[in-house]
Amino acid sequence: MISARALAASILAASLLTAGTASAQTYPNRPVTMLVAFPPGGADDATARILQDPFQKALGQPVVIENIGGAGGMIAAAKAARAEPDGYTILLHQDALAAGMALYPNRTFDAEKDFVPIGLVNITANTLAGRPTLPPNNFAELLKWMKVPGQNIRVGHPGVGSFGHLAEVLLFHELGIKVTQVPYRGAGPALVDLLAGQVDLGPISAVVAKPLVQSGKLKVYGLIAKKRFAGLPDLPTFGELGYKKVDVDFWHMLLAPAGTPRPIVEKLNAALRAALADPKVRKTYADGGMDEYPDSEETPEAAATLLKNEIKLWGDVVRENNIAAQ
C-alpha cells in the first residue's frame, strides 16, 4: 500500500513535469539573455554578434548580449550556472571553460554538472607564427634552430589560461623544447611585440596571420588545428607534422543551466542550427576564417562529448606543466 508521503511525492513530481512541459510549449515568450564570457572586442563577442540577428529571428524573441569578463571567463560561467534553468539565460563560452576546471580550483560551479550544452557554434584555426627576422623559413628549419644549445626562445601569448597560451604549452611539451613564456594582456599586444621582434614566436589566429604572411611581416610554421586553413593552404597542421596531440581547435559553444527542460534545449538548438545555416553567417565565417560544425556534430550530445574531452585534455596540460591562474 502506497504511503501518504510517497503519494504526495508522486503528485508533486507529476505537477512539476506538467508545469515544465507547459513552460516549454510557450517558450520563449520574452527576451533571452546571452552571457558572453569575455569583454567586447574579442573573438567571443564577435561570435555572439554574428549569431545574434539570425538566432533571435529563429527564436521569435530578442536576444540580448551581456558581456561579463574576468577570471578567464569564470565569472560569466558562474553567473550562468546560478541562473534559472528556464532557457532565458544562456552562455556563450569556449576552450577556456574546459581549462578553467583545472586552472580555478576554487570556482563555484562544475562545467559538466552545472550546464547542459545547447550546441557547438564554430571552430577557428591558430598558427605558430614567428617574427619576420627569425632565420627559419619552415618547420624543419625551426625545429633545428630551436635545438641549438643555449638558444633562448621567447614565446609571447595572450595571457595565462588563454587558448593561445595552453595550445602553445601543449605544442612545446610535445616538441620537447623549453621556451621562455612571455604573457601579454590579450592577443593584440602579443602580436604587436611579435611583429616588432620583441619575442620570437607566438600563437596567432590564422585569419589574422594570413595578410601578414602574404606581406612578409610574419612567418608561420604550422597550424594548431584539426584541419588546414583555406587561407593558407600550404601550411600543414602539427598533426600532419607528426604531433597528433596538437590536433586541437579553438571552439565556441552555447550552454544553458543544468535542469533546463529538454524541449527548451531542443528549441535553442534548432534556433542555433537555423542561425548557422543563414547565408550571411556562412559568408562571415568564411571571411573570418571560422568553420561551422557538420550537421551531425551540432547536437547537444556532441557538444557535451567535446566539453568532457576538452576538460580532460586541458586539465592534463595545466597539471603537467604546473600552470596557475594569475
Whether residue 195 sits in one domain with residue 215 = yes
SS3 of 240, please? coil
Whether residue 103 sits in one domain with residue 195 = no
Whether residue 162 sits in one domain with residue 100 = no
Position 41 scores a pLDDT of 74
Position 72 scores a pLDDT of 85
Is residue 84 domain-resident?
yes
Instruction: State the DSSP code for 298.
Output: -
The CATH number of residue 224's host domain is 3.40.190.10
Average confidence (pLDDT) over 136-153: 95
Whether residue 286 sits in one domain with residue 174 = no
Position 75 scores a pLDDT of 93
Is residue 311 domain-resident?
yes
Q: Nearest Cα to 115, choosing from 81, 141, 87, 147? A: 81
Kindly tell me if the per-residue pLDDT of 9 is higher than 50: no
Average confidence (pLDDT) over 216-244: 94
Position 18 scores a pLDDT of 53
Average confidence (pLDDT) over 244-255: 94
12-26, 51-65, 83-97, 204-218: which has the minimum mean pLDDT? 12-26
Kindly tell me if the per-residue pLDDT of 285 is higher than 50: yes
Whether residue 194 sits in one domain with residue 259 = no
Position 1 scores a pLDDT of 45
Position 316 scores a pLDDT of 93
The CATH number of residue 90's host domain is 3.40.190.150
Backbone angles phi, psi at 222, to 5 degrees: 175, 165
Kindly tell me if the per-residue pLDDT of 16 is higher than 70: no
Average confidence (pLDDT) over 227-247: 93
Q: How far is CA 68 from CA 65, 75, 148, 150, in A?
A: 10, 7, 44, 43
Is residue 20 domain-resident?
no
Whether residue 258 sits in one domain with residue 109 = yes
Whether residue 172 sits in one domain with residue 222 = yes
Is residue 216 domain-resident?
yes
Single out the residue in 226, 246, 266 at which a domain terminates: 246
What band does 267 get if pLDDT is binned at 50, 70 and 90?
very high
Average confidence (pLDDT) over 48-53: 96
Is residue 6 domain-resident?
no
Number of independent structural domains in the chain: 2
Domain encompassing residue 289: 31-122+250-320
Single out the residue in 216, 246, 276 at which a domain terminates: 246
Instruction: State the DSSP code for 232.
Output: S
The more confidently predicted of residues 25 and 29 is 29
Position 302 scores a pLDDT of 96
Read off the pLDDT of residues 74-106 as tens digits, 9 standing for 90 and up. Answer: 999 999 999 999 999 999 999 999 999 999 999
Single out the residue in 188, 217, 246 at which a domain terminates: 246
Kindly tell me if the per-residue pLDDT of 131 is higher than 90: yes
- Grid cell digits, residue 205: 589566429
Percent of the chain having pLDDT more than 70? 93
Q: How far apart are CA 259 and CA 20, in angstroms?
A: 10
Position 17 scores a pLDDT of 53
Q: How far apart are CA 98 and CA 312, in angstroms?
A: 8
Read off the pLDDT of residues 148-178 as tens digits, 9 standing for 90 and up. Answer: 999 999 999 988 888 999 999 999 999 999 9
8 Å CB contact between 232 and 213 = yes
The single-letter code of the amino acid at 19 is A
Whether residue 187 sits in one domain with residue 169 = yes
Kindly tell me if the per-residue pLDDT of 21 is higher than 70: no
Position 148 scores a pLDDT of 95
Cα 100 → chain centroid: 12
The more confidently predicted of residues 5 and 135 is 135
What band does 241 get if pLDDT is binned at 50, 70 and 90?
very high
State the average pLDDT for the chain.
91
Position 68 scores a pLDDT of 92
